[in-house]
């Protein structure tokens, strides 16, 4: 079993109910291999934490940016609470070291691990809420997550990669990017698309996803790297 005292020390927190903290890190796959484990999985805590997280972020943006429109505030909130951002914060807080996973899930990396970490972050917020209340969650979320908002605003990271790549491509090369499906396969309920992003006739990068939109977004992200644009 992981030593969760170390995590508490690192986070400068002390849970009254240690089981809540442990359960926040318990993935359903762990229970498949350890059916006698005394706690449940973290999915109910994740459900609660998701709501607390959204309220804290919404309240903070609403109070601190009184002149912004609903649309802008929604974009900023989405940039803060998406899986990529939450998994980055969870990694930085060393949540990886405390995950309770099956042997198979332990070997997963990339997007699969990203989603597990993001869900664990939400479950942790749910556990913290039950253990110490709303104000403790507010302090934690402000310290570790909302602190990222000024950078997100300054760099335009609240826009999706496709929108940002179009802006930069038009600014630098005077060309509007176009997207074409290069390959697709699989049954209707589980299709895979490979999409290319082009500047004129130049194929800049390819992206893959379970929808054309997802593949386009990945292609745009990779195009930034290929072009060395930031």
Annotated catalytic, 50? yes
Which long-range contacts does 144-148 make (Cβ < 8 Å, 24+ apart)? Answer: 144/89, 144/92, 144/93, 145/53, 145/57, 145/80, 145/81, 145/85, 145/86, 145/89, 146/56, 146/57, 146/60, 146/80, 148/80, 148/85, 148/89
Annotated catalytic, 131? no
- Cβ atoms < 10 Å from Cβ of 50: 19
CB neighbours of 206 closer than 8 A, spacing ≥ 6? 182, 194, 195, 196, 197, 219, 222
Catalytic residue among 46, 50, 131, 217: 50
Contact call for residues 82 and 66 (beta carbons, < 8 A) = no
Instruction: Tell me how far CA of residue 225 lies from CA of 97, 133, 144, 179, in angstroms.
Output: 30, 42, 27, 17
Tokens read off for 76: 């900023």
Contact call for residues 26 and 44 (beta carbons, < 8 A) = no
Catalytic residue among 122, 131, 217, 218: 122
DSSP for 63-115?
A: HH-TT--HHHHHHHHHHHHSHHHHHHHHHHTTGGGG-B--HHHHT--HHHHHH
Residues annotated catalytic, as ranges? 50, 122
């Amino acid at each position: 079993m992981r030593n969760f005292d170390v995590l508490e020390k690192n986070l400068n927190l002390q849970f009254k109910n240690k089981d809540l903290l442990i359960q926040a890190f318990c993935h359903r796959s762990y229970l498949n291999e350890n059916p006698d484990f005394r706690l449940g999985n973290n999915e109910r805590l994740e459900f609660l934490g998701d709501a607390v997280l959204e309220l804290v972020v919404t309240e903070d943006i609403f109070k601190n940016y009184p002149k912004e429109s609903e649309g802008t505030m929604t974009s900023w909130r989405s940039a803060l609470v998406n899986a990529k951002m939450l998994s980055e914060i969870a990694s930085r807080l060393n949540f990886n070291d405390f995950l309770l996973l099956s042997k198979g899930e332990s070997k997963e990396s990339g997007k699969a691990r990203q989603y597990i970490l993001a869900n664990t972050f939400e479950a942790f917020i749910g556990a913290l809420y039950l253990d110490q209340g709303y104000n403790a969650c507010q302090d934690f979320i402000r310290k570790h997550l909302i602190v990222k908002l000024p950078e997100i605003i300054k760099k335009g990271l609240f826009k999706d990669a496709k929108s940002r790549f179009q802006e930069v491509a038009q600014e630098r090369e005077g060309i509007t990017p176009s997207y074409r499906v290069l390959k697709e396969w699989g049954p209707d309920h589980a299709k895979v698309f490979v999409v290319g992003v082009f500047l004129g006739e130049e194929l800049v990068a390819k992206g893959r996803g379970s929808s054309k939109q997802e593949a386009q977004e990945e292609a745009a992200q990779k195009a930034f790297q290929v072009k060395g644009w930031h």
